[in-house]
Chains A and B, each alone.
Chain A
Amino acid sequence: MANVTFPYPFPEHLFALMPEMFVAVIAMALLLLDLFIARDKKATTAYIAIATCLTAAVLSVQAMMPEPIIAFYGFFVLDQFAVLAKVLICLGTAIGMILSINYMKDEANVGEYYVLMLFSMLGMMLMVSATNFITMYLGLELMALCIYVLVGYQRDLLRSNEAALKYFILGALSSCMLLYGVTFFYGVTGSFDFVTIGKGLATADSGAHTAIMLGLVFIIAGLGFKVSMAPFHMWTPDAYEGAPTPVTAFMSAAPKVAGFAIFIRILVDVMPAIQHEYTMILTGMAVLTMAVGNLAAIMQRNIKRMLAYSTIAHVGFVMLGLIAANDDGYAGIMVYLSIYLFMTMGAFGIIILMRRDGIHGEMLDDFAGLSRVRPGYALAMGLMLFSLAGIPFLGGFWAKYVVFMAAVEAGHLYLVLYALLFSAVGAFYYIRVVKYIYFDEEKVAFNFQESRLMQATVVVMTLAIVALGIYPDPLIDLCKHAVAGLI
């Protein structure tokens, strides 16, 4: 692979970093600008932030070269894979912001809310372009710190504070674990660079085996925390339930894309020499994650909590792509995450639309009779739920299909069988929500908090799920190309 490596940091290296710099500058400027925006016009801040996200996505695509660019002496890479992940992250953040406008308008300091989201997005963008544990850690922490604050943004609500505190403590612990794991690899190979460590691990002598294994375990645990793999998933339900719903929507999509993208990069660049070991660990965790996610989701009465466990379940399915450890598996993960982003954010979008006085449309039976009052919302939510359950003609089916196919190709037939059985279990709690929406009578009068922009976003996401369900080929193709550059 002929990497384009420039001798000096300027200006080509900055060109590769342009989208990130753009976001950083706008975010800081917006922080100042927000002071001058009247309290009742705070939506302007949101619109600027949304435009920034979308521009960043366009810039990421613009900055892409036919060959991967490795900039800043191996601290930063811009390849097709990173660009794909960045586009998804920017899209997820933009949708998260659109869902926030109405929901957050009564909160204090709402301007900073969008700035925090932008910084968090910046962190994720850095993270997926990292080729070095230091860059990765910087991006990861920038993302995580912003999200801790976002989760606790409703300062008057006890549960929001509680969620933020739990998330912060566990998140900080997981970052420590990750760093601790990195130190082992540094000790063995003397480098933070992914590729150098990868080569070092391949040639390390047998005496270093214990250190390498400890490093592997801690790094997987640390990253596992961030993407909610069992048994490191404990924070997820509490954080999801306590966070303001648009933050939950945001958390359930964009950080997962970033987390899995960097996971893939680390597995491909750092760990090929210890594939056997990490496959064993990940297989065990995947088995647990699928079981915990799907079984615990059945018990939930709060839809945010249910979707938290559903996220865990989907993470379990996505892990099959990591375990497959082949091109199709990694491409499958990107397909899965792209489709999952629309499904989960679409479902949260409907939940946010249903917010009413004092009630947040969060309990399952709050949905009772939705189909009579708003057939459009009911249809959108129904399609999202069937898609999450993986029923064909909706995108969710192909998401599962590509990942499972890759796992079968890699010889993990039994694991796929297990995953499929749990996806049938999973269908139970999704279609139970459909039951409330379509079969039950309305209990309390609905009081929607709607805006044209939000409705349009939900419609677009629903159409995307249906369109991808009927013709997923372009997306699969795109992801395959993006991954081909990686390996």
Chain B
Amino acid sequence: MDLNNVLDFPILSLSIFLPTLGALVIWLFVHGDKAVRWATLAVSIATFVVTLPLAFMFDKGTAHMQFEELHPWIATFNVNYQLGVDGISMPFIILTSLLTIICIISAWECIQTRVKEYMLAFLILETTLIGVFCALDAILFYFFWEAMLIPMYLIIGVWGGKNRVYATLKFFLYTLAGSVLMLVAVLAMYFKAGHTFSLLAYMDYPFDFAWQFWIWIGFFIAFAVKVPMWPVHTWLPDAHTEAPTAGSVILAGILLKMGAYGFLRFSLPMLPDASQYFVPFMVILSLIAIVYISLVAMMQTDMKRLIAYSSIAHMGFVTLGTFMFTQVALEGALFGMISHGFVAAALFLCVGVMYDRLHTRDIAAYGGVANVMPIFAAVIILFAMANVALPGASSFVAEIMVLIGTFDASAVTQANLPVSVKWVAIIATTSVVLSACYTLWMCKRVVFGDVNKASVGAMKDMSARELGYFVPLIVLVIWLGLYPTPVLDVMHESVIHLVAQATTSKLDAAAALAQTAPMLNAVHH
């Protein structure tokens, strides 16, 4: 947009590095737990304010990258510090800066040991998360993607539960093993596409099918671990269970989205033919996530584990929508990610509220919470309904869009599936029932009924601070549920462009290039 060109202000860089700068200042100059908490909150709010212009000044009429920045970084390898956002990445930046504030408030009282380190880790984590969504250079993307492991490892490991060592090692190694394959894929693209790391150049370069195939697999493993998709999902329930509340919030709210974002940013536009080829594979994995993981969720006795499995099932919806190659389904998938960011975050916060009181996440330890914590009961039921995707909640919009998009999937998707895509939609729809089963059953056992345990009877209702961080989430879930247009408007152009990229085969251009390339070489020599 003209405005941001005129301003020519590195707003993305500021959003990325403000938290780290703040962390540095806090590390050096702020002492005392109380002061550190307030200073961190101030930094996170400042970051949120800095990211707001991205939303207000965003030009919805174009699919081009906006707020672009480009500086050479490692000239010898043509690695650039290249940033930019479009309608696909911009909402995630706002989501990150918003959830970080909520995380910091939620940790206000439950983190009592090593408060400063905790807050610094969170601010540095915020830098890497915003960086991932802004990066338009593959190495820069990888840089943030991997750097995120360090603060997350410490957050779960230092402030986590009993079994945290196992959970962190599993989380770290799964993610690392996945992402090294992404690095190989990136290096392969670098040499194939003419010594560039620019994501936009990769989108334009016609890779032939064999290259697309292997590069797609490299990316798939990295992203599938992060989403996480069945069968590489097993790190998530462990990580969630052991993480402190805010760690779970940021994990479910943002980290999981990075994988799905990767599919949208890399696989679909850069490797359209391989993406189409793998449609049946992705559909099957997504359906397994939706149906099987929902059944697994039903059997959980630990609340955090249950919500973790529910997250995997919801992410199954996202990956399903991603590979339908229609505007409706893709927007549904994107909207689902944002909505899930609010709903899962809120549910983890609810568990955190209860955990702070009884120090257990066991469903059986509760019962009749509504009698002693009426306000809390209202909040958790509201978000449980949102998790079930009841009309009126943002998740309903997402789920219905994905389902419509699946019923009405593109010819490309249908051509790659052996059965009618309607069957896929029908199987996916069972999720509506299954998610209602596990969510409502949990609510029944935890919230309703009589108070049978003395410990539950002694629970105090939520404080103003606790209610405070739920309010923005409640407002957003209902507002986006009733009126999703503002967010969808932001996505439209970018998604239309993405659908065009994903459904246009690169093979003809690749064949043409293969024919002209020897001639070009002949001219050069």
Contact = CB atoms under 8 A, between A and B. Distances in A.
Task: Please indicate whether A and B come from the same complex rather than being unrelated chains.
Answer: yes
A8 to B, nearest CB: 40
A405 B77 contact: yes
Task: Count chain A CB atoms within 10 A of each CB in B149, B157, B180 and give the residue with the most.
Answer: B180
Contact of A393 (B73, B114, B143, B181): B143
A428 B174 CA distance: 11
A386 interface: yes
A141 to B, nearest CB: 37
A417 interface: yes
A480 B76 contact: yes
Contacts of A391: 146-147, 149-150, 176
B187 A404 contact: yes
A421 B117 CA distance: 31
B131 to A, nearest CB: 10
Contact of A435 (B143, B149, B165, B177): B165
A343 B447 CA distance: 53
Contact of A416 (B114, B165, B184): B184
Given A404-B187, A408-B187, A431 B74 contact: no
B76 A439 contact: no
A423 interface: yes
B295 interface: no
Interface string B140-173: 0011101101100110011000001100110011
Contacts of B191: 408-409
Interface of B: 73-77, 114, 117, 139, 142-144, 146-147, 149-150, 153-154, 157-158, 164-165, 168-169, 172-173, 176-177, 180-181, 183-184, 187-188, 190-191
A392 interface: yes
B75 A473 contact: yes
A431 B153 contact: yes
A472 interface: yes
Contact of B74 (A392, A393, A434, A476): A476
A392 B147 contact: yes
Given A391-B147, A397-B146, A420 B76 contact: no
Contacts of B146: 391-392, 397
B74 A473 contact: yes
A472 B74 CA distance: 7
Given A427-B173, A427-B176, A438-B157, A386 B76 contact: no
Interface string A390-414: 0111000110011011001100010
Contacts, number: 90
Contacts of A404: 183, 187
A202 to B, nearest CB: 25
Nearest to A427: B176
Closest 4 CB pairs between A and B?
A420-B180, A424-B177, A392-B143, A392-B146
Contacts of B149: 391
Interface of A: 371-372, 375, 386, 391-393, 397-398, 401-402, 404-405, 408-409, 413, 416-417, 420-421, 423-424, 427-428, 431-432, 434-435, 438-439, 471-473, 476-477, 480
A134 B218 CA distance: 48
B150 A424 contact: no
Contacts of B75: 473, 477
Contacts of A372: 114
A401 B191 CA distance: 14
Nearest to B124: A393
Contacts of B114: 371-372
A472 B169 CA distance: 29
A428 B74 contact: no
Contacts of A480: 76
Contacts of A401: 139
B339 to A, nearest CB: 31
A423 B181 CA distance: 11
A359 B395 CA distance: 58
Nearest to A480: B76
Given A391-B146, A431-B153, A431-B172, 16 more contacts: A392-B142, A392-B146, A393-B143, A393-B150, A405-B77, A408-B191, A413-B184, A424-B173, A428-B169, A434-B153, A434-B157, A435-B168, A438-B158, A473-B73, A473-B74, A476-B76
Contacts of B169: 428, 431-432, 435
17 contacts: A371-B114, A391-B176, A393-B150, A398-B74, A405-B77, A409-B191, A413-B184, A421-B177, A423-B180, A424-B177, A428-B173, A434-B153, A435-B169, A471-B73, A473-B74, A476-B77, A477-B75
A438 B149 CA distance: 15
A120 to B, nearest CB: 33
B157 A435 contact: yes
A335 B227 CA distance: 35
A421 B153 contact: no
Contact of B180 (A405, A421, A476): A421
A99 B164 CA distance: 35
B32 to A, nearest CB: 15
A397 B146 CA distance: 10
A183 to B, nearest CB: 41
Contact of A420 (B144, B157, B173, B181): B181
Most buried by A among B77, B158, B169, B173: B77
Contacts of A473: 73-76
A472 B168 CA distance: 29
B173 A439 contact: no
A480 B76 CA distance: 9
Contacts of B190: 405, 408
Given A392-B143, A477-B76, A416 B187 contact: yes
